[in-house]
Amino acid sequence: MAKTAGEQQKKSRTHRLAGLISGRRFKWVVVIAWVIVMMIASPLAGKLTGAESNDTSSWLPGKAESTKALNIESKFQSTDVAPAVIVYERSSGLTAADKAKIAADVPQIDAVSGIIRGSAKGSIFSQDGKAAENVAAVRIGPSGWEKVGGIIGNVRKIANNSDGLTAHIAGPAGQAADSADAFKGLDSSLLYAALGVVTILLLITYRSPLLWLLPIISAGFALTSAQGIIYLLAKHAGLIVNGQSAGILTVLVFGAATDYALLLIARYREELHNHEDRHEAMALALHRAGPAIIASASTVVVGMLCLWFAELNSTKSLGPVAAIGIGVGLLVMITLLPALLVIFGRWLFWPLVPRNGEEVPTSRGLWAKVGRSISHHPRAVWLVTAVILGVMSLGIVGFKANGLSSKDTYRTTPDSVKGETMIAAHFPAVGAGLPVVVVGNASGAQSIEQALRNDSKITSVMPAVVKNGYALSEGILTTAPDSADAYATIDRLRTSMHQIPGANAQVGGYTAITLDTERASKHDRQLIIPIILVVVFVILALLLRALLAPFILMLTVVLSFAAAFGACALIFTHVFKFGGADSSLPLFVFVFLVALGIDYNIFLMTRIREEARHGDTKKAALVGLAATGAVITSAGAVLAGTFSVLATLPLTAFAEIGFTVAFGVLLDTLIVRSVLVTALTLDIGSAMWWPSKLAKQSDGKKSK
């Protein structure tokens, strides 16, 4: 097919740009420039943890009633203050010595650094005589958990200083301390784990003792540079970064950036078989693989930016953080990596050094054989594959991602959960330490207090406190704070409080926050998932210059997500015995699997389209699978390996995200992309490119 003058001019421009990056002299400019960037970014990246905002508001839905209540509550007391409930138990009954020790602990706890002076309250004893509670207020600090672990640790030493008397620290401060332990060293742990996984997989992929170093070094440049930029934005532009987004950033940048490196190096190695000059080989590799890599990264960036529409602050903040990481990763892999590869030359591939004139091995590899097998009965193959994936999707039925209770948040049983279990066993007011908080105008103080007392599921109502024109009252739930009954109580209270004339009452507290978070997550899923589907479809349509192919690819990716999520739902319920799923899990998994999973379809379909311009589409499908199969499989393994690192953390939500994304990426790489998409392309043929001119070309009667 003849090329227009415009197409030839465009090609020459992109080829010249690719040649400039890998040029004999300019490659040194590229490397020096990135070294300077690293020198600037490295000290900034080291400060990112200190710039994280892990206070309650950084995770909440910004427009929710509980968030508004929290803002008003700050006028009465700092929102950086949280109660610690010290609960004691002796199964045979508290002795006189136990009671004396528990009472003596109060002034000692009050003297602990980080405990607000005078906040430690006298003991409350259970009716069964086996347990007691002390309560103290802990100043958590703006970082949310930076120092709380040490404070609670000191309190725990005091409380546990008695033989046979068991003590645990529950309440918001106890939970914050357990979170601090779970997130302690998170960034470095994830970095080293991801580094180890990627190194092993690259050694297996390249079978070279040296080549793996360049992708790792480049990924390190990308991560450090991204962290430096994000720190500056967090410090000076109001970008919210928390432990969740910082942890996912590490995994995402390492996984995605290494993927782009694998795809570029594979095309570079292919061109080295056809060109003696490695600079020309790299220029052609960048020219031919670059658009697909850029389109793939752009899809991920745009997909992540769609999270900006979320109501939940923790989800909203992840969007720009992840987008910056992917954008920087792309820039590094199409500039620094090519420059390093041409500087070091062919010997990096030792012992499998590609030589000019050698046959490219893809035509006789595993994926070439898979393609030929599929070509005999492509329709039967895609129908059977689709049915199997559909059956796997049924695992979603009945699986509820409605948030995790305190005891299910961790894969182990931390101290705060043990304390909550102890409280529930001995105290009828199981919501002690996690009260329902109602705030409103001072004129409605008495009405707010009375409405709180009138609810049958509320006990121990605190008299309304008036300050700065506002009123605040608290009540203790008679049911577990994270139970369905507690959520129903919040809705009932909101109905009654909103009917108080002129009070402008807002219901908040732990239970209301949990309920609003769950509802915001549901809203975010319903809004953002359709937006991402539309955006990804438009990008694919522009890249492939077709409408049918993008539509089919979108269907396969959605089916891949549903199958992966369904299978993992069954595994979580029946194998891992998780007590549910975090409410953000469906959206996060969808974004990662669709945005990242579509990458592999982009790499495959752009190669098929490139080959289809010189022959029929059915033959091009076999060539495309044979040429990209090995590298895409390796890329999928690397991405799955890096995300699986999240599954090693003690937090259930991180484990669920890591396991599901890893499983989904492997499913998409090995089955959906290689079998389903290839079979569909072989069956549909050139019509895949409708309505472009390629759709009008004739296909061979049978692909060989």
Question: DSSP code of 699?
Answer: P
DSSP-derived secondary structure letter, 410: B
Cβ 611 vs Cβ 689: under 8 Å: no
Q: CB of 674 within 8 A of CB of 629?
A: yes
In-domain check, residue 465: yes
The predicted structure's pLDDT at residue 301:
92
Task: Summarize the confidence of residues 93-112 as an average pLDDT.
Answer: 91
Predicted local confidence at residue 197, as pLDDT: 83
Is position 143 within any domain?
A: yes
**691 occurs within a structural domain:** no
pLDDT computed for residue 1 by the predictor:
39
- Residue 489 CA to residue 454 CA, distance in Å, equals 12
CA-closest candidate to residue 190, choices 53, 387, 49: 49
Residues sharing a CB contact under 8 Å with residue 111, sequence separation 6 or more, in sequence order: none
Q: What are phi and psi of 610, to 5 degrees?
A: -60, -45
Question: Are 51 and 140 members of one domain?
Answer: no
Q: What is the dihedral of CA 571, 576, 582, 585, to 10 degrees?
A: -40
Classify residue 504 as left (phi > 0), alpha (psi -120 to 50) or beta. Answer: left
The answer to whether residue 401 sits within a structural domain is: no
Residue 176 and residue 140 in contact, taking contact as beta carbons nearer than 8 Å: yes
Q: What is the pLDDT of residue 99?
A: 92
Across 680-701, average pLDDT: 83
The reply to whether 162 and 211 lie within a common domain is no
Q: Which of 49-58, 139-148, 686-695 has the highest mean pLDDT?
A: 686-695
Q: At a CB cut-off of 8 Å and minimum separation 6, what does 489 contact?
A: 436, 455, 457, 458, 477, 479, 511
Residue 85, in any domain of the structure: yes
Select from 160, 94, 98 the least CA-distant residue to 128: 94
pLDDT band at 593 (very low <50, low <70, confident <90, very high): confident
Beta strand residue intervals within 79-222, DSSP E: 81-89, 121-125, 131-139, 166-170
Cα separation, 290 vs 339, whole angstroms: 14
| Residue whose C-alpha is closest to residue 650's, from 416, 410, 414, 417 | 410
* 564 occurs within a structural domain: no
Q: Residue 477 carries which DSSP code? A: E
Residue 427 DSSP label = -
Q: Which domain holds residue 242?
A: 1-62+185-359
Same domain? 346 vs 233:
yes
346: tokens are 């062919």
31 and 89 housed in the same domain: no
457 and 335: one domain?
no
Give the integer Cα–Cα distance in Å for 199 and 565.
Answer: 28
CA distance 28 to 3: 35
Residue 593 neighbours by CB under 8 Å, 6+ apart: 557, 560, 561, 564, 661, 664, 665, 668
Cα diameter, the chain: 97
Nearest to 433 by CA among 181, 182, 176: 176
Domain end among 115, 148, 182: 182
CB 340 within 8 A of CB 218: yes
Same domain, 450 and 342: no
**CB-CB neighbours of 355 under 10 Å:** 10
pLDDT for position 94? 92
Under a CB-based contact definition with an 8 Å cutoff, are residues 319 and 67 in contact?
no
177 plus 211 within the same structural domain: no
CATH number, domain at 172? Answer: 3.30.70.1440
**For the ranges 191-200, 346-355, 632-641, the one whose mean pLDDT is highest:** 632-641
Closest among 206, 133, 512, 169 to 352, alpha carbons compared: 206
- pLDDT tens-place string over residues 5-56: 444 444 455 566 666 777 778 889 999 999 999 999 999 998 887 777 766 6
Judged by average pLDDT, the poorest of 5-9, 465-469, 525-529 is 5-9
Q: What is the pLDDT of residue 653?
A: 86
**Which CATH number do you get for residue 479?**
3.30.70.260
> In terms of domains, do 110 and 200 share one?
no
Q: Which helix (H) or strand (E) holds 419?
A: helix 415-426
The predicted structure's pLDDT at residue 220: 92
In whole numbers, what is the pLDDT of the chain averaged over residues?
A: 85
Q: Are 481 and 415 in contact (CB under 8 A)?
A: no
Do the Cβ atoms of 652 and 582 come closer than 8 Å? yes
> Which of 151-165, 256-270, 327-341 is modeled with the greatest confidence?
327-341
Q: Is residue 402 part of a domain?
A: no
The domain tally of the chain equals 3
Does one domain contain both 56 and 195? yes
The domain boundary residue, chosen from 325, 359, 393:
359
Domain boundary (340, 359, 378) is at: 359
Cα separations (Å) of 248 from 186, 253, 410, 495?
10, 8, 18, 39
The pLDDT tens digits of the residues spanning 285-339 come to 888 888 888 888 988 898 899 998 888 888 888 899 999 999 999 999 999 999 9
Question: Same domain, yes or no, for 161 and 298?
Answer: no
**Same domain as 324, residue 192:** yes
Write the CATH number for 30: 1.20.1640.10
Give the pLDDT mean for 155-176: 87
For residues 74 and 437, what is the distance between their CA atoms, to the nearest angstrom? 12
Is there a contact between 609 and 694 (Cβ–Cβ < 8 Å)? yes
Provide the whole-model pTM.
0.82
Q: At what angle do helices 213-236 and 313-333 cross, to 10 degrees?
A: 140
> Tell me, what's the pLDDT at 562?
93
Round to whole Å and give the CA distance between 245 and 304: 12
Compute the distance between CA of residue 467 and CA of residue 626 in angstroms, rounded to an integer: 72
Please state, in angstroms and rounded to a whole number, the distance separating the CA atoms of residues 266 and 626.
12
pLDDT higher than 90, residue 491: yes
Q: How confident is the model at residue 359 (pLDDT cuts 50, 70, 90)?
A: low
Alpha carbon distances (Å) from 221 to 217, 253, 564: 6, 10, 32
Region 251-270: what's the mean pLDDT?
88
How far is 551 from 129, CA to CA, in rounded Å?
Answer: 67
- State pLDDT tens for residues 181-192: 776 666 667 778
Look up tokens 């899809």; give the residue. 299
Nearest 5°: phi and psi at 2? -75, 145
Q: Which helix (H) or strand (E) holds 41?
A: helix 26-45
Q: Which amino acid is at 119?
A: S
pLDDT of residue 219: 92
Helix-strand-coil split of the chain, %, nearest 5:
65, 10, 25
Q: How far apart are alpha carbons 125 and 133 in whole angstroms?
A: 6
pLDDT of 2 above 70: no
**pLDDT given at position 390:** 95
40 and 95 fall within a common domain:
no
Confirm whether 139 is domain-assigned. Answer: yes
Name the residue among 382, 383, 384 with its Cα closest to residue 621.
382
CA pair distance 183, 246, nearest whole angstrom: 11
pLDDT tens column, 205-257: 788 888 888 999 999 999 999 999 999 998 888 888 887 788 888 888 988 89
pLDDT, position 8:
44
